[in-house]
């Protein structure tokens, strides 16, 4: 994965989101060790302190936990916490933007719902 240097999103947040995505994909499982700040720094060619900040964000959110001297591990409720967070923050923001844009374009609610359903059908065909 490449970090997006053209976004206003801080690198440590991008690191945290990447780890979250890896957990959701099953690449890091419950109670499994995640990459250290030094390994993340090597993978993404960033400062280890920046990588540590991303790991600490996930620890603060109880997605990761620390085993002293061993590193950070995936918490038992990590997947549920990530899904809840993304649903309540990311999806909500996207829905607000979508509804605002639909209103500006005078797209009715039934029309918008039909568009979403059509997109979903197309995605299921792939």
pLDDT, tens digit (0-9, with 9 covering 90-100), for 9-52: 899 999 999 999 999 999 999 999 999 999 999 999 999 999 99
Res 56 pLDDT > 90? yes
**Per-residue model confidence (pLDDT) at position 126:** 67
CB 10 within 8 A of CB 49: no
Mean pLDDT across the chain: 93
| Domain locations along the chain | 11-76, 79-125
Supply φ then ψ for residue 74, to 5 degrees.
Answer: -75, 125
**Per-residue model confidence (pLDDT) at position 7:** 78
Please give the helix or strand (H or E) that residue 65 lies within, else none.
Answer: strand 64-67
Please give the helix or strand (H or E) that residue 54 lies within, else none.
Answer: helix 48-60
CB 82 within 8 A of CB 63: yes
pTM: 0.78
CA-nearest of 82, 85, 16, 7 to 52 is: 16
Topology of the domain covering 11-76 = Arc Repressor Mutant, subunit A (1.10.10)
CA-nearest of 20, 25, 29, 24 to 63 is: 20
Res 58 pLDDT > 90? yes
Give Cα 64 distance to the centre of its chain.
14
What SS3 state is found at 34?
coil
**Per-residue model confidence (pLDDT) at position 11:** 95
Per the structure block, which two tokens stand in for 29?
């499982």
67 strand-pairing partners: 71
């Amino acid at each position: 994965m490449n970090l997006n240097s053209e976004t206003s999103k801080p690198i440590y947040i991008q690191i945290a989101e990447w780890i979250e995505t890896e957990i959701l994909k099953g690449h890091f499982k419950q109670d499994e060790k995640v990459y250290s700040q030094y390994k993340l720094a090597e993978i993404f060619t960033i400062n280890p302190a920046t990588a540590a900040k991303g790991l600490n964000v996930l620890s603060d959110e109880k997605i990761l936990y620390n085993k002293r001297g061993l590193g950070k591990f995936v918490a038992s409720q990590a997947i549920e916490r990530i899904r809840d967070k993304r649903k309540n923050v990311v999806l909500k923001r996207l829905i607000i933007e979508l509804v605002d844009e639909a209103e500006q374009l005078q797209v009715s609610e039934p029309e918008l719902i039909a568009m979403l359903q059509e997109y979903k059908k197309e995605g299921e065909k792939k």
